[in-house]
Structures are given as structure tokens and as C-alpha cells.
Amino acid sequence: MKFKMLFTVLALSAMVFTSCEDNKKKEQEEKERMEQMEAEREAEMEAEKEKQEMESNSIAAKAMETDTLSTLVSALKAAELAEMFKTEEGPFTVFAPNNAAFSKLDKATLDQLMMEENKDKLAGILKYHVVDQKVMSADLVKMIQDNDGEYSISTVGGGEIKATLEGENVILTDESGNKATVVQADVDASNGVVHIIDAVVMKKA
């Protein structure tokens, strides 16, 4: 009888011990799950913060902050490219025509380009001003000097722009021979750099 009672006590003790161990294991698993969820939440918040910081200092944001680039901003929106320069990491180099540059174009032509049905054509023109890497002005000057005074830049929109120097000024010549001068260099952005130019450059038709 004593043996039976002892066996029962031992069995109950084993069950209680196992139950305690199971509870501890469940508590540990729950703790680890909560810690993982918290870590994931913090990582998401950090990623969102970094995204907001990137977008607030993006090429699109810099252009919107610059009064002399308001026509370019309108053109980017019309061509549905504003979001690209806001959210994509790049890095890009944008040779950004200022308002004076756009005013040199025929108004009727510019108005036509801004129409919904011509957004692909407008996008092609704007992408001709974009390079798929970050090129600061000092680097561009060195490239020109290292290539006998003329450096060919391949653009996102296809085609090339020739960069040369006139005194201290960087001059861009498009495929039709039209020239633009960099009037403000190295507007640094989170996803690249902007160089403001005084004329719109065009690919050969």
C-alpha cells in the first residue's frame, strides 16, 4: 500500500514538474515571440523614418524648394516623373533647366508638351537631362580635363550630352548642337545631385 502511495506521489510530482516545465517553456516562447514582434515593429518604424528623411531631402523635394525650378517641377508632374525622383534611391544626376531655360522654348510647344497625351514625349525630354549615377561638378570637370577637354555623358533617356569647359563654366552641348551652361552646381540630395542649367537640351529628333 505504501509502495502504491509512493508511486502515486512520484507520478503526481513528475506530472507537476512536467507541467511547470511546460509552463516555463510556453512563457519563454511567448516572451521570445513578443520580443521578436517588438524588434520587427522598431525595424519598421526606423525604415519608415529613414524613408521620410530620404524623401524630404530628395531631388524632387530640392526642386520643389527652389523657386527658379517651378516650371521643371510642373513638367516632372505632367510626365509622371516626380515620384521617381522622390522615392527611388538612385543615385541620379539631374541637369535641371531653370524657368529661364523653359521660357526660351516656344510657348505653344511647351504647352503642347504639358498635355496628358504627350506625357511620354515630355518624359523622354526630361530623362535626357538625367544621368544614372551621382556626378559632382568637381568630378565632371576632372572627367572633361582627363578626356582632352570633352566628355560624353550617357543619359537615362538615351543619347549623349557633351560636356566641355569655357573658363570655369561647364557647358553642355546636346545632339542638335544647342548649348546650356551650368549656372548652379552641386545641389546635394539624398538620392543624387542637381546641377541647374540655363537651357533645355534635346535629343536629335
157 in any annotated domain? yes
Give 36-92 pLDDT, tens digit per residue: 777 777 767 766 666 666 677 889 999 999 999 999 999 999 999 888 888 888 899
Query: Alpha helix (H) ranges present in 57-106?
Result: 59-65, 70-78, 82-87, 99-103
Q: Above pLDDT 70, what percent of the chain?
A: 82
Indicate the average pLDDT of the chain: 85
Please give the Cα distance from 157 to 129 (Å, whole number): 8
Residue 84, domain CATH: 2.30.180.10
Buried/exposed code over 184-205 (b: 16+ C-beta within 10 A; e: otherwise): bbebebbbbbbbbbbbbbbbee
Please report whether residue 25 resides in a domain: no
Cα–Cα distance for residue pair 199/85, rounded to 1 Å: 21
pLDDT for 74: 93
Q: What is the pLDDT of residues 190-201, one digit of tens each?
A: 999 999 999 999
- Number of structural domains (the chain) is 1
Give domain status of residue 4, yes or no.
no
Kindly indicate the confidence band of residue 174, based on its pLDDT and cuts at 50, 70 and 90.
very high
Q: Is residue 46 part of a domain?
A: no
189, part of any domain? yes
Residue 132 lies in a domain: yes
Domain limits for position 92: 57-197
Compute, in degrees rounded to 10, the torsion defined by CA atoms 195, 197, 203, 205. Answer: 160
Of the listed ranges 34-38, 108-112, 137-141, 157-161, the one predicted with least confidence: 34-38
The answer to the question of residue 205 being in a domain is no
**pTM of whole model > 0.85?**
no
**CA-CA distances (angstroms) from residue 109 to 21, 175, 183?**
79, 19, 24
Long-range Cβ contacts of 119-126 (<8 Å, 24+ apart): 119/78, 119/79, 119/80, 120/79, 122/75, 122/78, 122/79, 123/79, 123/80, 123/81, 123/157, 124/157, 124/158, 124/203, 125/157, 125/200, 125/202, 125/203, 126/75, 126/76, 126/79, 126/81, 126/157
For the residues 138-145, what does the mean pLDDT come to?
95
